[in-house]
Structure formats: structure tokens, C-alpha cells
Structure 1
Amino acid sequence: MKNELSKNICRYRKEKGLTQEELAQKLGLTFQAVSKWETAQTLPDLTILPQLAGIFEVSIDRLLGFAAQEKPVTIYEEEYKSPGYYWGIQPSKMCLEVLELMPPVKRLKLLDIGCGEGKDSVFFAKVGYDVTAFDISDAGIEKTKILAHKAGVKVKVFKADLLDYRLDCKFDILFSSGVLHYIKPQYRTEIFNNYKEHTNPNGIHAFNVFVKKTFIPPAPEREPTAAKWITGELFTHYADWLIHECSEVIFDCNSSGISHRHAMNKILAQRLEGEI
């Protein structure tokens, strides 16, 4: 918790455009105190947490690094509680592209960001990757564990909020399918920089995002916490990486039982030596 709190104080301070001295003035403290919090040398007094949370406009739980539960975070929590698998158990096409681009001929650490019910995570584990995965849904995490157990593979899966969680160790592959629209625009650069910094040399990112098109009506789910990307926005985060694929497709979907369409951008990018 100490490291999470330190990182979050630094992150939320910068998001508010405050210097350490300006934050300290708001709290009636010295900037050295704030500096020590952000380097995890000391922790703020418990009585200061409400004031900090108020300045940053976040809950104390979020400040401490816990997934906030004061309101529903995903509309799929109830769907995932049903006996079947909402998204099925067949891996997405992008899994096969990762397998072709970076096969597990040696131990490769892979992170599935927003694993849902685990179909892609379990596929990656079955073909030989060392898989870690996270999701915000308790039911999704439980289903991932069940699917992995049935397949006889190990997936290290845990609960985390996409907006709060930051990587603190490196991976060879970062993968995310149909999830990154939950990252609000103002957080995207900071989160993607964290993902890039925690990718090993020659590692890859395989991501797709839903993009907004004026000629495509909103999806029937109307997810309250989603924020679509614009065409090409995803690609701008990888100007310093080798791009193996950047593409846009429009496809039909029936996930909600109502026929609709999506537009999606996909990127397969590789970090070469010396790049971040």
C-alpha cells in the first residue's frame, strides 16, 4: 500500500497541474513533506488523507490504490455470473497474431489487460506463455480461474481497476482486446507511458480500441464509463516503436442480442533496443 499511495500522490498531483510546493501550500505543509511522500520515505498522516482526496477529487480508496466500488465499474459483472461464457471460449484472432509474431520458444511473460472471462489468457497459457492477467470484475476473475483449471494451465489473475493500476515489473508482451476504451482520454498518455516503460527490449504490445465513427450508431450497451478513441489516436503512442501492423476495421456484432456495428483500430508494435 505504501508504494501505491506514493505513486498515486505523485500521479494525481501532476494530473491537477500542481507542483510539490503548491500542493504543500494547500495542505499547510512544506514541499519536503510532499517530496518524501512521493518517494515513499514517509507516509502522510491519516488525518490528511481526506484533504488530499478532496484536492485530487478522488475517493480515499482510489488514492490508496484500491479499486473504487462506490458505483458499478462494468456492466458485464452480472453477465459474467451466468453459467455460460458471455464472449465464448475461443481466443480472439489477435492472439494468433501474437503467437506468430513472438512465439514462446523461450519463457516469455505476457500480461492480459482486462482479461474478462479469461478466454485469451487461457489460450496464451496453453501454448506456453507465462501469463498474468487482471480485470475489474469479480465474476470474470472467477471464470478465468475456472477456465484455466479446466485447461490444466496456470494463469496468475488478480483484480484491478484499469484506471488505477500501474505496472511495476516488466513483461515481454502486453495484450488487450476490447478494453482500452475504459481509459479516459486525460489518462491515456500517462498509462501508455507506464506500459511502454515496463516492456522488455524487443517486447510487443498487441492492442485494439473502439473508435468513434459518425456514421455508426452507439452500441446498445451504452456503457457509462467508456470513452471511444478517434481514428489513429492509438498509433500516436508508438511513434518511437517498430509498427508491425496498424489497421482499422468495421465489423458486425451481436454480443447484446441486438445486431450492431463497431469500428476498431488495432496495433502490433515492438520495442527495439534503446526505445521506450
Structure 2
Amino acid sequence: MEIRLCDNIVRFRKSKGYTQEELAKKLNISSQAVSKWENAQSLPDIALLPALAGILETDIDTLMGYIPKKKMVTPYEDRYNAKEYYWGTMPNEMCMEVLRRYYPTRPLRLLEVGCGEGKDAVFFARNGYQVTAFDVTESGIEKARRLADIHQADIDFFRADLRDFRLDEDFDIIYSSGVFHHILPELRDEIMENYRSHTASGGMHAVNVFVEKPFIPEPPDSDLCSRNWASGELFTCYKDWMIEECREVIFDCNSSGIPHKHCMDTVFARKMPDRKGE
């Protein structure tokens, strides 16, 4: 999968509310030059990259779609460095639900967003899905590859930050568990639309998110780079899809070694063929 500079320029420009002409003026270049960058007809001069990144309030690495190995963007980078598997190696219960709802009687392409140490990706690959999976942590990806090797599971693992990465190919299933609270509210519409638009007709999303509740204290292993969703917010992302099931549960957790609670919304939604023109 490819993270293209042209896509990132478009996305960051629009997020700042700049037109092509306004961005060009700030860089003292023509608007035609910006248009060519965004249409992948040419690349910015290397001397312009620092100014371009500064105007778009990002950095060159992010603009280029590259995450340096030493750049830690989540505390899970350290947590996954331990010998044992932080979340264990048993697959999430959601995996069995996906298997039951969309069994791979034909080759089905499945993307796991935020695969961590790989336990769910390995489960899907061992059960016949064609699996692609990414995570922001280098340590997580390394352990995921080791786990896949142990089980002789063929999985395309790669490292990416879901806040910066966008899909450019379609999948039959997009699966993610306990990850989307890292998508800040101002990015949710854009990212969810990207995932919906790159889901094949008849395809499925199986997603859960942590939900904010005033009567549940902040968990001891939370980090500053996340924001819980509002109750029911996830379900509205699929208003034009067939929602096969949606639920909200409060459960006990001991992931940090300190007992605490979470509230989580889960949805299984199917992208149905558009028949408006019939």
C-alpha cells in the first residue's frame, strides 16, 4: 500500500482551509504548481519541503508518509517491547463474530487497523482471509511478524499512523478493535469516509470504540493522544449502511495490572449496493 505525497498535500491543505491559490501565494509559486503536486504530475522542490510542512503545520516525515523508527507516538511502543504479549495471544471475541457473519467461502481481503502485536490478524489469516494489517508501533509490528511466523500465517504487515494514513485500495472487511479513540474528533469524518469509500460492495466493517461516560473514571493506562467517542457516535457513521448489530457494554479490564472499567460501542455494518438509480 502506498502513502502518496500528493494525497497528504491535499488533505493537510484542506484541513487548514487553504485553497490552492492561497497555498501557492504563501510559497511564492504558481497555483498551477500546487495543482500538479496534488494530481501527482510533479513533486515539490526539496528546498520547498520545510516551508510547505511549516505552512501546513506538520513535519516533513508526516507529509511524506514516513514514520521514523525512533519516533514514539504512543506509549504502546514501550509496552510492546516486553517479552510477553501485552494483550495475550488469544483473538478478540469479535473475530469469531466476523467469521460467522462473513465466512471466506471465496478470497476475502481483510484490513486490520491498529493490529498491535498481531493476535487478531493471525487468527484471520489462519482462517482463510487475505490479511493486511498495520500499526503505529515498530515493536508491535515486530512481535506480530514473529507470531505470524510461528503460526505460518501469510500477512502483509506494515507500519503507519492511522491519523495520517489513508487507503487507496478496496477491502472486503475492515476490522479494528480498541484503536479508534486515537482518531481525534476533527479527523473522524474524513477517516471514516475514506474507510467506507474503500470498502467493496457487500463488504463489512467490524469496529469498536471506547465511549466516554461521566461515571467511569479515566483508565490508568490511558494516554494523551486519544479521545473517547460519544455514546452512539460510531453508529451514525453507518447511517447509509445496513447495521447488522450495534451494542454498548461496560466491562472490567486489568490490562495495566490495575482493575478498571471501560465502556465500549461495537458495530457490525454491511455496505449494500446502491440501487437509487434503479
* Kept after mapping to 2: 8 A contact 1:59/1:68: no
Q: Which amino acid aligns with 1:189?
A: D
Q: How does 1:177-256 map to 2 (within 5 A)?
A: 177-256=177-256
Other-structure match for 1:47: 47
Other-structure match for 1:57: 57
* Kept after mapping to 2: 8 A contact 1:2/1:43: no
2:87 and 2:2 map into 1 onto residues whose CA distance is 37
Q: Between the two proteins, what is the percent identity of the paired residues?
A: 54
Q: Which amino acid aligns with 2:117?
A: E
Q: Which amino acid aligns with 2:160?
A: A
Other-structure match for 1:173: 173
Other-structure match for 2:131: 131
1:231-251 Cα deviation digits (max 9, x unpaired): 111111111111011111100
2:113 paired with 1:120: no
Deviation of residue 226 (structure 1)?
0.9
Other-structure match for 2:273: 273
Secondary structure of 1:204's aligned partner:
strand
Other-structure match for 1:150: 150
Q: Which amino acid aligns with 1:155?
A: I
Spell out structure 1 runs of 4+ moving beyond 4 A.
68-71
2:102 paired with 1:105: no
Q: Which amino acid aligns with 1:76?
A: Y
Deviation of residue 68 (structure 1)?
5.7
Q: Which amino acid aligns with 2:261?
A: R
TM-score computed with the length of structure 1 as normaliser? 0.96
- How many equivalent residue pairs? 275
2:244 and 2:272 map into 1 onto residues whose CA distance is 12
Structure 1: give runs of 5+ residues left out of the alignment.
Answer: none
Q: Which amino acid aligns with 1:267?
A: V
* Kept after mapping to 2: 8 A contact 1:3/1:40: no
RMSD of the TM alignment (CA)?
A: 1.6
1:16-55 Cα deviation digits (max 9, x unpaired): 1111111111112221111111000011111111111111
Other-structure match for 2:20: 20
* Kept after mapping to 2: 8 A contact 1:2/1:40: no
2:3 and 2:257 map into 1 onto residues whose CA distance is 44
Deviation of residue 71 (structure 1)?
5.0
